[in-house]
Amino acid sequence: MDVRKLRKTARLTQIELAQQTRISRVRLSFAECGYLKLTQKELTLIQKVIARELGRRAARIRAAVETAPKPRHLGTVPEVMPRFASRSDDVVRFAARAGESQTERRD
C-alpha cells in the first residue's frame, strides 16, 4: 500500500495522519520512504482515517453543490436588448443578429 499517495489524496499532512492514527510521524515518514514496513494493524488504522477524511471531503463537496446558486436565465431578446443597446438603430441591429443566431441554433 502506498501510504504517501493515500495520505496526499486525503489531503492530510504526516502530522495530521500521525495524530489521528497515533503512529509516530517519524515512523510514517520512514514507511513512506520505504525504510520500514508498517504492521497490519497500523495499515488498517491508516485506511480507516483516510476513508473517514475522504468521506468528510465528499460531504463538503456535496453540500457546496447543493447550496450553490442556480444559473440564471437571461430572458428573451426584448428583455435583454435594453441592457446592451443605447440607440434605436442599435436595437434593430441587435434584434436582427439575435434572430439570426436563434435560426442557426435550430439548424
Owning domain of residue 102: 77-106
% residues pLDDT > 70 (the chain): 65
pLDDT, one tens digit per residue, over 47-67 is: 999 999 999 999 999 888 888
Considering only CA atoms, give the Rg of the chain: 28
- CATH for 47: 1.10.260.40
pTM confidence score: 0.61
Same-domain check for residues 54 and 97: no
pLDDT exceeds cutoff 70 at 99:
no
What is the three-class DSSP state of 57? helix
55 shares its domain with 13: yes
- Determine, yes or no, domain membership for 99: yes
Are both 39 and 91 inside the same structural domain? no
Question: For 44-48, 50-54, 74-78, which range has the lowest pLDDT when averaged over its residues?
Answer: 74-78
63 and 83 belong to one structural domain: no
Helices 88-106, 77-84: inter-axial angle, 10-degree rounding: 140
Tell me, what's the pLDDT at 69? 80
Which whole number is the average pLDDT over 17-27?
96
Sign of CA dihedral 19, 21, 23, 29: negative
